[in-house]
Amino acid sequence: MILELIGHDYKYAVEQIMLTLFPDERPVYANGLDTKAKDLVAQSRLSSGAVFAQCTTTIRCNGNTCHGTAKVRLNQLTDKLITDRLLQRIVKQSFYRAACQMITTPPVWGSLTGIRPAQIAARMMKDGHSASFAINTLSNAYYVSPVRSKMCVAAANTAIDLKQTLTSKDIALYIGIPFCPTRCTYCSFVSNSVEKSFGMIHPFVQMLRTEIEMAARLTDEHGLRVTSVYIGGGTPTTLPEEALETMVADIHRLFDLRYVREYTFEAGRPETITPEKLSIMRKYGADRICVNPQSMSDEVLKAIGRKHSAQDVLDAVTLVKSSGAALNLDVIAGLPGDSFESFKNTMDTIVNLNPENITVHTLSLKKGTKITLEGTLLPSGEDVGKMLDYAALRLNQSGFEPYYLYRQKFTSGGFENTGWCRPGHEGIYNVCMMEELCTVLALGGGGATKLVSKSGKLERIFNAKYPREYILLEDKLMAKYDMIKRFMAKDIN
């Protein structure tokens, strides 16, 4: 699609709403070219009058021309941050209003393009507005479906309540283990199949131990309190027992864990869960275990490159439950070979296992995944919508509530990922990470540290993505902790 921006340079806002509404298109800027002969063109014009700033979008497609307008009062444009946010909002709204005259089914998230829609609801409620006001605004101003608007407000309420229990010294600790038994066909995460990289496990763990020491020293020097621990990946339980115990024993020995309210361990692949590994996890404090079956259909599991069966999932759940830990189960809507009926069976089976948490993801079609490269046939966006509708219905009926959600680019049908829990079992790390409630100190391969200042300013620092890079770049780790110290010194002053 050819884009022409007049009176503004909000390229990112226009591109994001364009990709939401025309997912098969890619932005091409006119840059003075004659667009009259082109068939798919969108012109976005921003102008100001005496009272309002107004954006008008004109889209020409297949011989049809549609217009959309949106405006905001000039007296609302106070500082630069608010001005940019409100002007980008009307840019996206006007594009949405024009495009919706051309598309068959409007997206359930309306004109919202961000990955954290609950933050919009939270901002309204922090300003003193009611939950009903937030729901109505999401539905009427952003065109979000009523179901998603209510989910946003539920997630926002969870974040607001949790934030009130955190001090400025509270942090979340994340440990990234970038190894898996095999690589799933849909995977875009930083993970290496141990079939190809087993030899890197030992040097990786040794470097991780070095970083654990650095991080523990930092938290001690600055009086930080670890409120949640999350060991993820990858599949941390891919590690051999000795390496696993070495890592968690170091965490237990070096960090002050007195303030930890939740200690989560990703044991994603059921075939990697053994009584011995569970015993190690529980011995050192893990009280929440995540098992990620993704599907309870053996045919779907085979299609995504999993080596386990649905029965293996049931066996793993029995082990976790016998350990006394809380249980989270993950599923994905839109996987290859899946259908509404098989997904329905997955949800029914998962719910009947009575976990404390269930996370329902939507398949994200990322570049470089086997699914994308091979052009695998997938359920339609309409079918994925039906899957998610059933999941929400079944979970609501079974006493689960949505407590956090986020969106990703290129998800089937433009849908979301949602964490559901039984009351009182909200995943603290998930909420802190997604809603940016406190600093997240991330260690290990691909770890993304988020530094949150007292004023809410955010700074990110990324670890090396791949095990080999992580192992070889100790100097980069030392520089990382120097950056964190400088950030914290400025925040104190």
Query: For 105, which DSSP code?
Result: S
CA distance readout (Å), 442 to 228, 418, 419: 12, 22, 21
d(CA 66, CA 58): 6
Contact (Cβ atoms closer than 8 angstroms) between residue 445 and residue 204:
yes
Q: What is the DSSP letter of 304?
A: T
Q: Give the start-end residues of each E strand in 324-383.
A: 326-333, 357-362
HSE toward the beta carbon, residue 228, CA cutoff 13 A:
25
Q: Please report the pLDDT score of residue 490 as a whole number.
A: 84
Residues in the chain, total: 493
pLDDT at 233: 87
What confidence tens digit (pLDDT) does each residue in 65-109 have? 999 999 999 999 999 999 999 999 999 999 999 999 988 888 999
Residues of the chain with pLDDT under 70: 32-38, 188-197, 366-370, 372-375, 492-493
Four-residue CA torsion sign, 233, 191, 440, 155: negative
Question: Which residues pair with residue 448 across a beta bridge?
Answer: 462
Nearest residue to 440 via CA among 166, 120, 221: 166
For residue 267, how many C-alpha atoms fall within 13 Å in the half-sphere facing its CB?
Answer: 35
For residue 234, cis peptide bond before it (omega within 30 degrees of 0) = yes
What is the reported pLDDT for 69? 97
DSSP conformational letter for 438: S
* pLDDT 10s digits, 121-141: 999 999 999 999 999 999 999
pLDDT of residue 306: 87
Instruction: Give residue 489's pLDDT.
Output: 87
What is the distance in angstroms between the CA of the first residue and the CA of the last residue of the chain? 49
DSSP 243-302: HHHHHHHHHHHHS--TT-SEEEEE--SGGG--HHHHHHHHHTT--EEEEEEE-S-HHHHH
User: What pLDDT score was predicted for residue 37?
Assistant: 57
Q: How many CB atoms lie within 10 A of CB 214?
A: 18
pLDDT of the residue at 181: 82
pLDDT at 194: 55
